[in-house]
């Protein structure tokens, strides 16, 4: 081993040390005489080479060797000098100072690794500090630590330098975070819009009390993943956040949901700043501010469905930052192993175990790696593109340590890459297992190019889409909530001008990548000139001190104690990593690898925009080097423009009407169709009809628009046009079950029973394997059978009604509320005198929903048929009245029950309450009049009969009943007029004819 190396750092036979500062002092007569560069080399290692450089010359002078000892050291050679020095260095303080001297570089690098998250490490137990009074001037005091304290404890004032980019977040980071919050504060009063209704309002995993375990079996919209109609988007952590929002706020409060989205965007902005620092960005603040206010993020932040992108980005960046910490600690461990073995390779065998500090570094290294994989899994469980963080981590590790890569499994980089590959394989296998190997289905209108039979049309169009997305990032002028249908026309010819833009886009990407890669290789070539041939073996870079100590002729397999500086990322590498962040997360949504259910979606650019903003920051920093004011002015203008565009765009997401109106210029058919639905729900019928007509003018084959127009026309009693709209909806989409249901019920109401029966039966047999909303589809099939059964029951065909209801029970999906079906089946069985079966189904209805009022009423009516259970029946009516005190039908049915018991006074009071609650309903008014007549209150009864005749002037029974009460009250002329009106409407009414003969006979008698 070279002599100077032993003099400098060998343990325990080291040189003399200062008990005040811990420095190693080399005598001119020993070190300088034999090695002229000893003083400079020692300074590089952090040692003191002369007593004049010690802070306390008095204390250090007391420990110097005498001139005679120095001369004897010169005459005996270097080895003799070392022996003489070892006889003097006996104190405990000197041993600790010596250990600190040659392990300080380990600690510097370890702190650089842990500095990724701003964590400072205290000294490990096996690395001792010199006493407080022995520290050199200009160093900060290091906080002491208890023996046995954890390796990750923090220190308030470490004297060792941090890694680049490891400073705690201060002004710039907080400024960017506040900018992110400020620019989106006007979204806090927005409502639920567009896909929010399906993802939140009607999602059973969010708004119901279903077990939380079901959420892990369903897709993002609440549909089981195993169903053929599932969207295939598995994002349980995002759904869990919606559910927590719903639970914490006590309901569907949109402001609370939007506040969480804005807060998540602020957190993502802080992580972007951290990522920029770790990647060595020369302008992290500029890049982060651009990310905070970029207008393309509006859909992800202002739209609640975009929370999946926000959460995925947060976990993506956390996973990547954790992996960079793993790489730093891994390199620190390698450096520590080298320094622990430095100077002892001739004495230590290969079986010797590493030090305690090295063991701790191994543990921390693997904790970071597994944490990174766990966070990657969380990113994937928020949105599928989050899994690409594993690929980004592999690119980062390979790019920064490609020269140290080796096929040997002992190589730390190879081990890390193997674990990344294994983690990726496991996550993909779990994802495919959950999907059940089903391919997600989507409508042709969502991505029409994917269904195009021409290969070249698909090739040209899908190759153009990444260029179009890049244009959205650069010029976010044209923004829309939906880019489906023909918003981006397909490229059907090679001569389309957009193909030229595609070529230019990919050409620019290639040129940029090539330039960055050449810069990286050029840096490697210049760095190779600084390699140490004596001990580096061509794998690591070493200082000039290492060359001097090893004299470039030491055996190649020797250990080397030269401190290795932390790996610094060059600008070209930063650019390549930023380009990777831009490209890798976008690939799964690009339609290049596989088809997805959209053409362009602004929310999927949220994560790739991190790379774009980092690239903008690099460009800004390069132009700003010239110390010219123009780059700063340009950045300020760009930030102001982006902020204003984002702030204005947020208003489009305030409500659905504003959102759909904003998309008319980009996607007119879908925007007009959705706008018509919103206007129709607001009662603005004429405007809604105009919007529907405009949508069909742009795209006549829109089945949902035809269906919604049919509902509007049905409500306006334009039945023939409504039937035509329903038929067109079925023509363009035969699987649209709601159109079948509404058409069947409308035909039945128009007396076209045979057509209605055929439509409803066809609806109940529709295949729902490829529908967009399987839950609604399956529920509609059951509803079709329920309406068909009612149609049979209204026609007194109770046998067929029971058969249909029984079929509906067998077809009923788990999410369908069965109480109505059970109650109707019970009523039909009651009509068939199958009372025991009927009672069982009534009980089943009450078990399914104990507060189902119709089941209370029908069960009470069933019990009333048994004279021995009248009291029990009355209790069910009383319960129904308590459950629905404002429902007039409850009082009507209860009044009928009391009337049958001849309790006319009580019945009259109930009917009067019903008529009070529903003064314009015919049945309560007639019931009140009848009950009053039976109670002997004929004058009051006359008033209600008059109201009934006014409510239904074209019904003969109204005039017949009025004539009867007038007859009883002695108003013969008015009674005769009412009888004649009733006979005009129904000349064959025997009751009215008999009453009229009696009236005429009575009048004749009196005359």
| 635 has pLDDT over 60 | yes
Q: Mean pLDDT over residues 561-588, rounded?
A: 81
HEC profile for 184-217? Answer: CHHHCCCCCCCCHHHHHHCCHHHHCCCCHHHHHC
Instruction: For 685-721, write each residue's pLDDT tens digit.
Output: 999 999 999 999 999 999 999 999 999 999 888 999 9
**Considering the chain, what percentage of its residues have pLDDT values greater than 70?**
74
CA 496 to chain centre: 37
Q: Extract the runs of DSSP E, i.e. beta strands, from 575-614.
A: none
CB 311 within 8 A of CB 237: yes
Pick from 227-241, 380-394, 914-928, 969-983: least confident: 227-241
Give the closest residue to 380 by CA, choosing from 446, 429, 341, 439. 429
Average pLDDT on 350-370 reads 70
DSSP reduced 3-state for 707 = helix
Lowest mean pLDDT among 158-162, 168-172, 798-802: 158-162
Cβ contacts of 776 within 8 Å, gap of 6 or more: 737, 738
Contact criterion met (CB below 8 Å) for 485 and 670 = yes
User: Considering the domain 734-816, what is its CATH architecture?
Assistant: Alpha Horseshoe (1.25)
Residue 188 has pLDDT above 50, yes or no: yes
| Residues paired with residue 224 on neighbouring β-strands, in sequence order | 218
Judged against a pLDDT cut of 90, whether residue 74 lies above it is answered with no
pLDDT in tens, 284-298: 999 999 999 999 999
Integer-rounded Cα radius of gyration of the chain = 42
What helix, strand, coil percent values describe the chain, rounded to 5? 70, 0, 30
Q: Which comes out higher in pLDDT, residue 960 or 44?
A: 960
**76 pLDDT exceeds 80?**
no
Query: Which residue carries 């700043």 as its tokens?
Result: 273
What residue spans define the domains of the chain?
A: 3-134, 308-345+354-438, 734-816
Residue 307 Cα distances to 206, 255, 303, 381, angstroms: 14, 14, 8, 12
DSSP three-state, residue 858: helix
pTM as predicted: 0.73
Q: What's the token pair of residue 221?
A: 């919209």
Q: Which range has the worst mean pLDDT, 110-124, 186-200, 394-408? A: 110-124
Query: Is the predicted pLDDT of residue 380 greater than 80, yes or no?
Result: yes
CB of 730 within 8 A of CB of 701? no
Over the stretch 575-625, which tens digit does the pLDDT of each residue have?
999 999 999 999 988 888 888 877 888 999 999 999 999 999 999 998 887
Give the position of tokens 């100072």.
Answer: 97
Residue 233 has pLDDT above 50, yes or no: yes
Res. 630: pLDDT tops 80: yes
pLDDT tens digit sequence for 844-866:
999 999 999 999 999 999 998 88
pLDDT at 555: 42
**Distance separating alpha carbons of residues 283 and 910, to the nearest angstrom:** 79
**Apex 916 CA angle, 913 and 918, nearest 5:** 110
pLDDT for 440 equals: 62
* Cβ atoms 154, 126 nearer than 8 A: no
**If you search the block for the tokens 């770790």, which residue do you land on?**
278
Confidence at residue 808, expressed as pLDDT on a 0 to 100 scale: 92
Q: Where are the alpha helices (DSSP H) in 733-831?
A: 737-749, 753-764, 774-794, 798-811, 819-831
What are residue 932's phi and psi, to 5 degrees? -65, -40
pLDDT at 21 over 70: no
Nearest to 91 by CA among 62, 126, 121, 55: 62
Helix (H) or strand (E) holding 658: helix 656-662
For residue 332, the surrounding DSSP H or E stretch is: helix 307-341
* Selected residue with higher pLDDT from 1002 and 411: 1002
Residues sharing a CB contact under 8 Å with residue 523, sequence separation 6 or more, in sequence order: 570, 572
Identify whether the C-beta of residue 972 lies closer than 8 Å to the C-beta of residue 1003.
Answer: yes
- Pairwise CA distance, residues 577 & 449, whole Å: 32
Residue 552 pLDDT level (bands cut at 50, 70, 90)? very low
pLDDT at 920 over 80: yes
> What local confidence, expressed as pLDDT, does residue 138 receive?
37
Residue 566 has pLDDT above 70, yes or no: no
Residue in this structure with the two tokens 């009693």, named with its chain if needed: 717
What's the average model confidence in pLDDT over 127-156? 36
Q: Is the pLDDT of residue 356 over 80?
A: no
Report pLDDT digits (tens) over 740-772. 999 999 999 998 999 999 999 999 999 877 777
Note the pLDDT of residue 726. Answer: 95
The CA distance from 739 to 302, in Å, is 33
* Position 528 pLDDT exceeds 70: no
640 pLDDT more than 90: yes
Return the closest-CA partner of residue 561 out of 575, 572, 545: 545
Structure token pair of residue 494: 């090679």
pLDDT in tens, 97-109: 443 443 444 444 4
Mean pLDDT of the chain: 78
What is the rounded average pLDDT of the residues 462-474? 92
* Residue 890 and residue 853 in contact, taking contact as beta carbons nearer than 8 Å: yes
Pair of tokens at residue 305: 């469905």
| Cα gap 32→177, rounded to integer Å | 56
Question: What would the two tokens of residue 880 be?
Answer: 């129904």
Higher pLDDT residue, 249 or 837? 837
In this prediction, residue 348 carries a pLDDT of: 43
Assess whether pLDDT exceeds 60 at residue 53.
no
Most confident of 82-91, 485-494, 704-713, 905-914: 704-713
Nearest of 574, 585, 587, 645 to residue 614 by alpha carbon: 574
Say if residue 134's pLDDT is above 50: no
- 17 has which bridge partners? 24
So what's the pLDDT on residue 597? Answer: 75
Length of the chain: 1007
Residue given tokens 């294994």 in the structure block? 422
What does the alpha-carbon distance between residue 765 and residue 781 come to, in Å, rounded to a whole number? 7
pLDDT (mean) for 262-269: 95
The pLDDT, as a whole number, for residue 112 is 45
Between 801 and 133, the more confident residue is 801
Mean pLDDT of 928-947: 89
pLDDT for the residue 210: 74
Instruction: State what percent of residues in the chain have pLDDT above 90.
Output: 40
For residue 35, the model assigns a pLDDT of 40
Does pLDDT of 353 surpass 90? Answer: no
User: Chain-centre distance of CA 510, in angstroms?
Assistant: 32
């Amino acid at each position: 081993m070279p002599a100077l190396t032993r003099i400098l750092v060998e343990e325990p036979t080291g040189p003399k040390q200062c008990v005040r500062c811990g420095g190693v002092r080399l005598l001119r007569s020993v070190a300088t005489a034999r090695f002229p560069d000893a003083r400079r080399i020692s300074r590089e290692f952090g040692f003191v080479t002369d007593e004049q450089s010690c802070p306390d010359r008095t204390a250090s002078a007391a420990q110097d060797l005498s001139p005679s000892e120095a001369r004897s050291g010169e005459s005996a050679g270097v080895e003799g000098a070392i022996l003489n020095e070892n006889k003097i260095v006996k104190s405990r303080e000197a041993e600790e100072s010596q250990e600190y001297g040659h392990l300080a570089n380990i600690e510097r690098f370890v702190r650089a690794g842990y500095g990724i998250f701003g964590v400072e490490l205290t000294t490990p137990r096996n690395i001792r500090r010199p006493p407080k009074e022995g520290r050199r001037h200009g160093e900060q005091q290091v906080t002491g630590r208890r023996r046995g304290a954890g390796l990750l404890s923090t220190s308030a004032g470490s004297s060792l330098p941090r890694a680049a980019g490891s400073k705690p977040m201060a002004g710039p980071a907080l400024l960017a975070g506040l900018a992110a919050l400020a620019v989106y504060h006007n979204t806090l009063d927005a409502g639920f819009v567009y896909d929010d209704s399906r993802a939140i309002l009607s999602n059973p995993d969010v708004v119901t009390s279903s077990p939380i375990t079901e959420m892990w079996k369903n897709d993002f919209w609440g549909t089981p993943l195993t169903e053929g109609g599932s969207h295939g988007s598995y994002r349980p952590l995002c759904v869990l956040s919606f559910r927590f929002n719903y639970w914490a706020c006590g309901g569907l409060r949109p402001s609370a949901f939007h506040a969480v989205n804005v807060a998540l965007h602020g957190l993502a902005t802080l992580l972007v700043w951290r990522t920029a620092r770790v990647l060595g960005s020369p302008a992290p603040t500029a890049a982060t501010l651009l990310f905070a206010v970029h207008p393309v993020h509006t859909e992800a932040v202002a739209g609640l469905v975009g929370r999946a992108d926000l959460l995925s980005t947060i976990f993506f960046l956390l996973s990547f930052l954790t992996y960079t910490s793993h790489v730093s600690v891994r390199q620190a461990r390698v450096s520590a192993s080298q320094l622990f073995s430095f100077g002892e390779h001739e004495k230590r065998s290969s079986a010797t175990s590493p030090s305690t500090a090295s063991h701790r570094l191994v543990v921390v290294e693997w904790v970071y790696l597994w944490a990174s994989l766990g966070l990657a899994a969380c990113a994937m469980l928020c949105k599928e593109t989050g899994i690409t963080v594993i690929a980004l981590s592999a690119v980062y590790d390979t790019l920064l340590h490609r020269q140290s890569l080796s096929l040997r499994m002992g190589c730390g980089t190879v081990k890390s890459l193997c674990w990344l590959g294994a983690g990726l394989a496991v996550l993909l296998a779990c994802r495919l297992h959950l999907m059940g190997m089903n391919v997600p289905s989507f409508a042709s209108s969502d991505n029409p190019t994917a269904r195009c039979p021409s290969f070249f049309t698909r090739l040209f169009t899908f190759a153009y889409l990444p260029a179009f997305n890049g244009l959205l990032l650069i010029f976010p002028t044209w923004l829309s909530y939906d880019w489906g249908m023909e918003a981006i026309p397909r490229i059907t010819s090679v001569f389309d001008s957009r193909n030229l833009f595609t070529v230019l886009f990919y050409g620019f990407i290639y040129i940029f990548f090539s330039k960055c890669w050449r810069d990286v290789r050029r840096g490697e070539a210049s760095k190779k000139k600084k390699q140490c041939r004596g001990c580096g073996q061509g794998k690591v870079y070493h200082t000039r001190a290492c060359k001097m100590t090893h004299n470039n002729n030491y055996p190649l397999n020797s250990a080397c104690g030269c401190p290795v500086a932390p790996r610094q990322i060059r600008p070209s590498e930063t650019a390549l990593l930023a380009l990777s962040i831009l490209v890798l997360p976008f690939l799964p949504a690009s339609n290049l690898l596989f088809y997805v259910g959209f053409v362009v979606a602004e929310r999927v650019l949220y994560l790739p925009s991190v790379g774009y903003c980092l690239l903008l920051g690099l460009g800004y920093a390069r132009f700003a080097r010239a110390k010219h004011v123009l780059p700063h002015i340009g950045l300020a203008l760009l930030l102001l423009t982006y902020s204003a565009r984002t702030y204005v765009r947020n208003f489009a997401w305030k409500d659905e009407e504003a959102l759909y109106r904003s998309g008319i210029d980009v996607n007119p058919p879908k925007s007009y169709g959705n706008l018509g639905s919103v206007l129709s729900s607001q009662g603005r019928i004429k405007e809604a009809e105009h919007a529907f007509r405009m949508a069909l003018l742009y795209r006549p084959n829109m089945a949902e628009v035809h269906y919604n127009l049919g509902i509007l026309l049905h409500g306006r009693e334009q039945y023939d046009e409504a039937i035509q709209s329903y038929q067109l909806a079925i023509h363009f989409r035969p699987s649209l079950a709601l159109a079948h249901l509404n058409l069947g019920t409308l035909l039945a109401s128009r007396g076209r029973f045979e057509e209605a029966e055929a439509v409803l039966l066809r609806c109940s047999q529709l295949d729902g394997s490829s529908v967009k909303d399987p839950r609604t589809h399956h529920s509609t099939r059951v509803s079709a059978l329920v309406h068909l059964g009612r149609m049979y029951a209204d026609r007194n065909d109770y046998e067929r009604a029971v058969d249909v209801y029984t079929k509906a029970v067998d077809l009923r999906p788990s999410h369908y509320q069965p109480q109505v079906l059970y109650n109707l089946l019970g009523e039909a069985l009651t009509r068939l005198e199958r009372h025991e079966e009927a009672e069982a189904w009534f009980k089943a209805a009450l078990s399914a929903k104990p507060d189902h009022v119709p089941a209370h009423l029908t069960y009470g009516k069933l019990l009333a048929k048994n004279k021995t259970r009248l009291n029990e029946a009355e209790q069910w009516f009383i319960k129904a009245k308590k459950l629905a005190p404002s429902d007039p039908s409850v009082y009507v049915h209860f009044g009928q029950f009391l009337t049958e018991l001849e309790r006319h006074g009580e019945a009259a009071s109930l009917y009067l309450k019903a008529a009070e609650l529903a003064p314009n309903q015919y049945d309560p008014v007639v019931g009140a009049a009848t009950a009053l007549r039976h109670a002997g209150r004929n004058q009051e009864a006359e008033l209600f009969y008059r109201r009934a005749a006014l409510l239904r002037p074209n019904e003969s029974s109204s005039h017949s009943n009025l004539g009867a009460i007038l007859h009883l009250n002695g108003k013969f002329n008015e009674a005769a007029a009412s009888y004649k009106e009733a006979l005009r409407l129904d000349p064959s009414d025997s009751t009215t004819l008999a009453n009229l003969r009696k009236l005429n006979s009575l009048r004749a008698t009196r005359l």
